[in-house]
Amino acid sequence: MNKFETVLITGASSGIGCELAKIFAQNGYNLILIARNIIKLNELACELMDKYNIKVYVLQQDLLENNAAEKVYESVTKIGKNVDILINNAGIGYVGSFHKKSLKSDKEILRLNIVTLTELTKLFSKDMVKLKKGKILNVASTGSFSPGPFTAVYYATKAYVLSFSMAISEELKPYNVMVSVLCPGATRTNFSKRAGKRDNKIGMSPDKVARIAYFGLLKNKRIIIPGIINKILTKIPGNLVYKVVGIYQKKLMN
Ligand SMILES: NC(=O)c1ccc[n+]([C@@H]2O[C@H](COP(=O)([O-])OP(=O)(O)OC[C@H]3O[C@@H](n4cnc5c(N)ncnc54)[C@H](OP(=O)(O)O)[C@@H]3O)[C@@H](O)[C@H]2O)c1
């Protein structure tokens, strides 16, 4: 991949997505940043354009909306930019008992983490295949490797992201479209707070996770697991570890 290419990042207004935007900007890539918080996106875009002399486009889009992926694709077509790297980073989860959580919250997790991610991948990978060039980074989790009691739907969506990404990486490789999947462990972002977890100070910094993701993507690594402890944890079979995961997640419940 050359510099000056365009990277589309969903969920770029905070956390890992925001840090990914910074590292690609530092390396001369143009950006298309997507989230709902347009104020944060504009602030980030101004900062990165000033510092690195790149082009940054922002799209305010709620990725839970019906046809959100098509709307993003149409907006990108209007901008007239080809997406060289697609990063499906936006994701949500919750901690809590499955039977007590609303159907609405489950539907939102399924829509954002699975449906929109799959639709965006479909739309942009078709163009990449035509051009015989492109990269896709889907953000899963260390939770992709085991069931997650008290965060059951979230872990299951991330298992989907891992399985889906590995499968299409095999399909798309002959077309020079490389698919990587990032599996962070606990990372110090807004995610825990949004997920209704007790304030959890442990975890990696989002800039470190983004840096590891960036270099992993450039090397076409299929599965990128930041941090040695996370690497070791994901080697333990899910059917052995899920009860311990449940105890840990229950402790994080407010
Ligand atoms: N933090 C962790 O411990 C951890 C661990 C493993 C995996 N991950 C994964 O890492 C990814 C990034 O999470 P993070 O930790 O950086 O969390 P974060 O700081 O909460 O960032 C989430 C991003 O997703 C965007 N987003 C949420 N709902 C959206 C919607 N409906 N439409 C559009 N954008 C939406 C948010 O932007 P707006 O609110 O502005 O829309 C925000 O930019 C997620 O896929 C998460 O599952 C995180």
Contacts of 91 (CB under 8 A, 6+ apart): 11, 112, 113, 139, 157, 158, 191
229, part of any domain:
yes
Contacts of 47 (CB under 8 A, 6+ apart): none
The residue range of the domain holding 16 is 6-252
How many Cβ atoms from other residues are within 10 Å of residue 193's Cβ?
Answer: 11
Q: Is the CB of 107 under 6 A from ligand 1?
A: no
37, part of any domain:
yes
Cα–Cα distance, 174 to 129 (Å, whole number): 9
Biggest alpha carbon–alpha carbon distance for the chain: 50
Residue 192's nearest CA partner among 213, 182, 206 is 206
Total number of domains in the chain? 1
- Residue of 94, 158, 160, 214 marked active site: 158
1, part of any domain:
no
Q: Is the CB of 187 under 6 A from ligand 1?
A: yes
Per residue of the chain (254 residues), give pLDDT as tens: 456 799 999 999 999 999 999 999 999 999 999 999 999 999 999 999 999 999 999 999 999 999 999 999 999 999 999 999 999 999 999 999 999 999 999 999 999 999 999 999 999 999 999 999 999 999 999 999 999 999 999 999 999 999 999 999 999 999 999 999 999 999 999 998 888 887 667 899 999 999 999 999 999 999 999 999 999 999 999 999 999 999 989 988 87
Which atom of ligand 1 sits closest to the CA of residue 206? Answer: 16
33, part of any domain:
yes
105, part of any domain:
yes
- Residue of 29, 73, 94, 154 marked active site: 154
Is 214 tagged catalytic? no
Contacts of 148 (CB under 8 A, 6+ apart): 154, 155, 156, 242, 245, 246, 249
15, part of any domain:
yes
141, part of any domain:
yes
Q: Is the CB of 190 under 6 A from ligand 1?
A: yes
143, part of any domain:
yes
Q: Does an H or E element contain 181, and which?
A: strand 177-182
DSSP assignments along 65-110, one per residue = STTHHHHHHHHHHHHT---SEEEE-------S-TTTS-HHHHHHHH
Identify the DSSP state of 167. Answer: H
The CATH code of the domain that includes 10 is 3.40.50.720
Is 175 tagged catalytic? no
Identify the pLDDT of residue 1: 47
Q: How many CA atoms lie within 13 A of 180 on its CB side?
A: 23
